[in-house]
Structure 1
Amino acid sequence: MSDSLNPTPARDAIAIRVADVSKTYRMWATPSSRLLVPLMLRSAGVMGRIFPAAGQRLAARGHARMHTHTALSDISFELKRGEALGIIGLNGSGKSTLLQIIAGVLPPSQGAVEIHGRVAALLELGSGFNPELSGRENVFINGAILGLDRARIQAVLDDIVAFADIGDYIDEPVKTYSSGMALRLAFAVQVHTEPDILIVDEALAVGDAAFQAKAMARIDEILSRGTTLLFVGHDLNAVKAFCHRAMLLESGRIALSGLPDEVITEYLHRTHRRALEAKLRPGAGAAVARLDDGYGLDTACVVGAAINDVDHATVGYGQTLEVRLDVRLGPDVEHPGVIFDILDAKGLQLTGRRIMLPRVASLMMLQVRIEFDALFQQGIYRIRSRVIDAPELDRTTVLSRQEGRLSFEVVDDSRSLFTGIFPVPMQVHF
């Protein structure tokens, strides 16, 4: 669509406003209770005007046949045009319910939602497809549901078919598709509608690795045009990569809202605290605590660190960096180790190293030194450390996780030497 027909709105305009939204589900003791309980409660109200005691007894009997589950409680936030918000939390925290309410699939029990702009919701991909119709026919039907006229759908049809990459199956009935093919076609339709607001619920996990990479690139392209994004997922790297803000839901309530790094750190802290406290022996004296730059056990954490003897080092391309980690370690860690990671400015892991440590007989300090050359493209990078207990590679327990204390900046522009973030050995032949 041309800018003349669709002028770009101000970036500070509100795209989504959620005000005091709650969602409560009613659960019935028996199928017949679904009919009887409303009648009993209504009768109790009428009876209570004449015989208050009898009305209260009847109402109590009705409520005993009905139970409620509160999925969301008093959720409020605003999202401006062009902003991206990531929502994270454990399964059952209310993330998908919130997205369905915002997308208009579910009504809230109380509160209100305002949406300004056309929405594309990547929720249950493919759920609206007619299995008897071909993929091409379903593209036109889904496009019409999304508010596009036939001419507009026809204009982007070739792009949709190419993006889905299902070949000649586009003209076969959807009932002959694999689940992955149907999901890819549904995703392709949604991301080619040029939405004002894009709502994503775990939809970036569709297809194989190649298609996922293409899907991520397409989302990035959509956001670069100023589309508002509301993203829910367990892929924390995607939250860091796409989102300006993040929100942690826990038991249907907002536990924390802020910058992605802060919210993700709190989420991981809570998650690992539950896992570690379940494994700790009663009376062991160790507990998961918040540290200055992360969280973990006081008896298995980094208590001092430096990079080239400072907190932030500035170097040229290829210069040597030395990281020093002072690890406090207790005897309860049977297979101790440190995972050393290098992150980019968005918090995405670029590379790292797993370093196993000797077991100690008493609480003591170990010093680990790591040297590497700054073979990175121009930019700022951060260091993350994790103290682990790892009897085997696939049986690793993270005891502490700390990042943000150390960083380094590569000041040289090395694009003439390699593309991307860092070089890998290559042989070029003619």
Structure 2
Amino acid sequence: MTNVVMTVDKVGKVFRRYRHELHRVLGWFSLPVGQPEERWVLRDISFTVEAGQALAIVGRNGAGKSTLLKLITGTMRATEGNIGLSGKISAILELGMGFNPDYTGRQNVFHALGLMGYQHADIAAAMEGIEAFSELGSYFDQPLRVYSSGMHMRLAFSVATAFRPDILIVDEALSVGDAYFQHKSFDRIKEFRQQGTTLILVSHDRMALLSLCDRAILLHEGAVALDGEPETVLDYYNALLGQKEAQPILTEEREDGRVQTSSGSRKVSIVEARLEDAEGGLIDTLDVGAEVAIRVKAKASEDVESLVFGYAIKDRFGQTMYGTNTYYSEQALTDVKAGEEIEFSARFRADLGVGTYSVALALVGGENHIEDNYEWRDLAIIFDVANTSKQTFDGRIYLPSAFAISRR
């Protein structure tokens, strides 16, 4: 039997706006008042989380992500439904939440961890490690009001992870501050995960979500739109960002079990996509550093003012290794007519490590697919890279180096 540490059962949250404050007070006593204006932020949210899972929650701004986390942590009450939790929870929600701006960093550590239920002696014993991890230096004993947002994040994360929790919840906080501390924080999260901590992460950083999480939930208009593998959910979310009215988002499960997502108006569509070797032959396996080309045939079903072709190479986890388009190369086409056929070719040297890769293709109207998405197709091409001729190396990128060694 699986070890479920969190159960969210038919949870909903509504915010009510009353015409007069008196109406709100009368409503507490079930006295008749005018109907308040209601706005449901979340409705009928249900899912479970198992011990040790790493769950990403994604969605547009306003989709209800932060509200859901506040309901889970108990800083806000649900209007309907129930949330069941098992184990110690530590959360980083809004930066500075639970901190006093007039307290020093050290005083806030005692204050925040005390509110979380830890004893003074335990906090004092952990203080040296908290101070060292935050790397705030002399600011650790200065009032929080003089901290930058990055310093707030350093203190908040150091406090939230001072003791390994059963469930760690992080809401966008790691997007604040310097890259060094972000890497340091991710290393600690990975360490906690290896020790069995359950992670719930809200972020717009696709790379972070794919590297840390093994499951993702997409919230859209206050409901769960998709729950599954991170790559599949994030591809669907990407399609949703560029979706216009009446434009379908299509998903299809491939033979390898991965789900291909495609979207767009289809004013210009991909007719054929292939990977070719230097001689123009169709390939699906290549050697490290081989000269290859992505060749795509497209056809316009309607007139479009501008047409940009783009591609992105992704590893087997869905993380983008490299991406570009003809907008950046200043080769966007203009005045494309209905019925016109266009062939695109992108030639490059595949300096990639051994592994399986995919190519996402895009036909759009500008720099990205947000405004005019004609067709975006994930997993359009799948290929393998083998090392048959190069020196053994590790990693996903081939960067041959020349060693110089001197002994005296």
Q: TM-score range by the shorter chain?
A: 0.7 to 0.9
Alignment-derived partner of residue 18 in structure 1: 8
Alignment-derived partner of residue 363 in structure 2: 387
The Cα shift of 1:67 comes to: 2.6
Q: In structure 2, which of residues 215, 229, 243 is the aligned counterpart of residue 245 of structure 1? A: 215
The Cα shift of 1:394 comes to: 12
The one-letter code sitting in structure 2 at the alignment partner of 1:288 is: Q
Q: In structure 2, which of residues 340, 349, 368 is the aligned counterpart of residue 373 of structure 1? A: 349
The one-letter code sitting in structure 1 at the alignment partner of 2:397 is: F
Give the distance between the partners of 2:125 and 2:384, measured in 1 at CA.
Answer: 46
What does the per-residue CA deviation read over 1:104-136, in whole Å, with 9 as the maximum and x for residues that have no partner? Answer: 111222221111111111112322122232212
Q: In structure 2, which of residues 61, 78, 88 is the aligned counterpart of residue 118 of structure 1? A: 88
Is the aligned partner of 1:148 residue 2:118? yes
The Cα shift of 1:378 comes to: 1.9
Is the aligned partner of 1:361 residue 2:329? no
Select between 159-168 and 416-425 the one with higher mean Cα deviation. Answer: 416-425
Is the aligned partner of 1:33 residue 2:23? yes
Is the aligned partner of 1:256 residue 2:226? yes
Give the distance between the partners of 1:125 and 1:160, measured in 2 at CA.
Answer: 17
Q: In structure 2, which of residues 271, 284, 288 is the aligned counterpart of residue 313 of structure 1? A: 284
Alignment-derived partner of residue 289 in structure 1: 248
Give the distance between the partners of 1:149 and 1:130, measured in 2 at CA.
Answer: 19
Give the distance between the partners of 1:191 and 1:402, measured in 2 at CA.
Answer: 39
Alignment-derived partner of residue 134 in structure 2: 164
The one-letter code sitting in structure 1 at the alignment partner of 2:312 is: D
Give the distance between the partners of 1:334 and 1:133, measured in 2 at CA.
Answer: 58
Does the CA-based 8 Å contact 1:125-1:187 persist in structure 2? no
Give the distance between the partners of 1:340 and 1:227, measured in 2 at CA.
Answer: 37
Does the CA-based 8 Å contact 1:377-1:414 persist in structure 2? no
What does the per-residue CA deviation read over 1:277-328, in whole Å, with 9 as the maximum and x for residues that have no partner? Answer: 5xxxxxxxxx633356411122223221122489972233223333221222
The Cα shift of 1:383 comes to: 0.6
Is the aligned partner of 1:412 residue 2:382? no
What does the per-residue CA deviation read over 1:386-424, in whole Å, with 9 as the maximum and x for residues that have no partner? Answer: 11223x799974432111131222233999665542145
With the length of structure 1 as denominator, give the TM-score of the two structures. Answer: 0.81
Give the distance between the partners of 1:163 and 1:226, measured in 2 at CA.
Answer: 21
Alignment-derived partner of residue 7 in structure 1: none
Unaligned runs of 5+ in 2: 253-259
Percent identity at matched positions? 34
Does the CA-based 8 Å contact 1:389-1:399 persist in structure 2? yes
Give the distance between the partners of 2:207 and 2:113, measured in 1 at CA.
Answer: 31
Is the aligned partner of 1:179 residue 2:154? no
Q: In structure 2, which of residues 272, 276, 298 is the aligned counterpart of residue 304 of structure 1? A: 272
Does the CA-based 8 Å contact 1:305-1:325 persist in structure 2? yes
SS at match of 1:297: coil
Higher helix share: 1
The Cα shift of 1:426 comes to: 6.5
Alignment-derived partner of residue 4 in structure 1: none
Give the distance between the partners of 1:147 and 1:400, measured in 2 at CA.
Answer: 52
Give the distance between the partners of 1:342 and 1:192, measured in 2 at CA.
Answer: 38
Does the CA-based 8 Å contact 2:308-2:363 persist in structure 1? yes
With the length of structure 2 as denominator, give the TM-score of the two structures. Answer: 0.85
Distance 1:149 1:316, change over 3 A: farther
Give the distance between the partners of 1:393 and 1:378, measured in 2 at CA.
Answer: 30
Largest Rg, 1 or 2:
1
* 1:163-242 alignment, distance < 5 Å: 163-242=133-212
Is the aligned partner of 1:340 residue 2:311? yes
The one-letter code sitting in structure 1 at the alignment partner of 2:34 is: H
Alignment-derived partner of residue 255 in structure 2: none
Alignment-derived partner of residue 86 in structure 1: 56
Distance 1:343 1:170, change over 3 A: same
Alignment-derived partner of residue 377 in structure 2: 402
The Cα shift of 1:138 comes to: 1.6
Give the distance between the partners of 1:152 and 1:354, measured in 2 at CA.
Answer: 55
Give the distance between the partners of 1:266 and 1:374, measured in 2 at CA.
Answer: 27
SS at match of 1:215: helix
Does the CA-based 8 Å contact 2:353-2:396 persist in structure 1? yes
SS at match of 1:335: strand
Distance 1:96 1:335, change over 3 A: same
Distance 1:36 1:264, change over 3 A: same
Alignment-derived partner of residue 54 in structure 1: none
Q: In structure 1, which of residues 52, 63, 84 is the aligned counterpart of residue 34 of structure 2? A: 63
Alignment-derived partner of residue 96 in structure 1: 66
The Cα shift of 1:220 comes to: 2.6
The Cα shift of 1:344 comes to: 1.4
Q: In structure 1, which of residues 87, 109, 116 is the aligned counterpart of residue 79 of structure 2? A: 109
Between Structure 1 and Structure 2, how many residues are aligned? 388
Does the CA-based 8 Å contact 1:37-1:63 persist in structure 2? no
The Cα shift of 1:358 comes to: 3.6
